[in-house]
Amino acid sequence: QVQLVESGGGLVQPGGSLRLACSVSGTKIFSMFVMGWYRQAPGKQREMVAMTYNTHATVYGDSVKGRFTISRDNAKNTAFLQMDSLQPEDTAVYYCAAKFRGDADPSYWGQGTQVTVSS
d(CA 67, CA 61) in angstroms, rounded, equals 10
Q: Give, as one character, the DSSP assignment of residue 101.
A: T
In terms of C-beta density within 10 A (0-12 exposed, 13-18 middle, 19 or more buried), how is residue 52 classed? buried
Residue-wise pLDDT for 75-84, tens only, equals 999 999 999 9
Q: Is the pLDDT confidence value at 54 over 90?
A: no
Rg (CA), the chain: 13
In terms of C-beta density within 10 A (0-12 exposed, 13-18 middle, 19 or more buried), how is residue 1 classed? exposed
Mean pLDDT along residues 94-115:
96
